Amino acid sequence: MNENVIIGREFRLASRPDGEPTLDDFELAETRVPDPGEGQILVRNTWMSVDPYMRGRMDDAESYIPPFELGAPLDGGAIGEVVASRAEGIPVGATVSHFLGWREYALLDAASAVVVDTGLARPQDYLGALGTTGLTAYLAVTEIARVKEGDVVFVSAAAGAVGSVAGQLARQYGAVRVIGSAGGPEKGRTLVETFGFDAAIDYRAGSLPDRLAEAAPEGIDVYIDNVGGGHLEAAIDAFNDHGRAALVGMVGEYNAPVPGPRNLYVAVKKRLTLRGVLVSDHLDRFPEYIGKAAGWLADGTLHTEETVVDGFERAPEAFLGVLKGANTGKMLVRHTTNGN
């Protein structure tokens, strides 16, 4: 390291929200960045992911991942450049993926970082299509709900990061018809014209069950659920016997959980499989997935979109936006140099 002291900014949890989060729940603070110790690296973050699941971590509740601590830095997926290293195998200048986002500089053990190949794909792709987002969609389609030849597939939040990839993969793995729901006509056009869905449902316009029945008059076989609530209820009614649902997330309930679905007994009569998926259970599948997905990205089989918010200081704004569906594809924060 040089003799200059590095001061970095980080976001901390200022308060736990009651319902919908606000900017006041975040605190931007400055902190002295220490030099790396033996086996450690110092990373200047360049890209940061903000994701719906982070809303649950703002609550002090037990879950599959620990909650954020009040007054402590938040964390999440990030990509950055190694600016100092005392770790064999990770040189200065390497691009790495890690989990200490929400800060400009990350000091971490080398074992907690993964060197990514920027010759294979863009750095930000390792937070999206080649990251946990893409792997989640792949697992939902190939293992959790197991799309088969001839299936009719319904995807909620289909213009989002996971949904847009899941819909394309469903087609690749044999779906005869892919239907997506999204908010607004512009996103609906993107689903059909950009992501190759057969039909788009604007959940803000009219009855979702009626619209789904029109789009899938013979019912659906697979549902990729990113919303929960009324979407899951509509899917259960639309399912054919022995339908399969991959329960990825329920962004519609993160701020205000709702009871239901009210028609759950239909799942018994139809012998449905409703199975949750946590990507953290399947991280060993990353090499398999990247080996396939990198080729799909390169040849255009898999198309991705991203919504980029420039400026580290706007990270909370980007996060609140993703909870409201402001993004098409992956929501990313691009860091800008602060002069340190």
CA distance 211 to 204: 11
State how far Cα 227 lies from the chain centre.
13
What is the structure's pLDDT at 340? 42
CA distance 50 to 254: 15
**What global pTM score does this model have?**
0.92
- Write the DSSP string, 224-247: EESS-HHHHHHHHHHEEEEEEEEE
Task: Answer whether 335's CB lies under 8 Å from 314's CB.
Answer: no
State the pLDDT at residue 242: 98
- Taking 70 as the pLDDT cut, the residues of the chain under it are 1-3, 337-340
- Distance in Å from the first CA to the final CA of the chain: 13
Distance CA(216)–CA(158), nearest Å, equals 16
- Consecutive H or E run containing 339: none
Mind listing the pLDDT tens digit for each residue in 257-307? 777 799 999 999 999 999 999 999 999 999 999 999 999 999 999 999 999
pLDDT for 258: 76
DSSP 140: I
Residue 3: its pLDDT value, please? Answer: 57
- Residue 185: CA count within 13 A, CB half-sphere: 1
Q: Give me the domains of the chain, ranges plus CATH numbers.
A: 6-123+304-334 (3.90.180.10), 141-276 (3.40.50.720)
Looking at the chain, list the stretches that DSSP marks H as alpha helix, in order from N- to C-terminal side.
54-57, 132-139, 161-172, 185-193, 208-215, 229-238, 265-269, 286-299, 315-323
| Interacting residues of 227 by C-beta distance below 8 A, sequence separation 6+ | 156, 157, 181, 249, 250, 251, 252
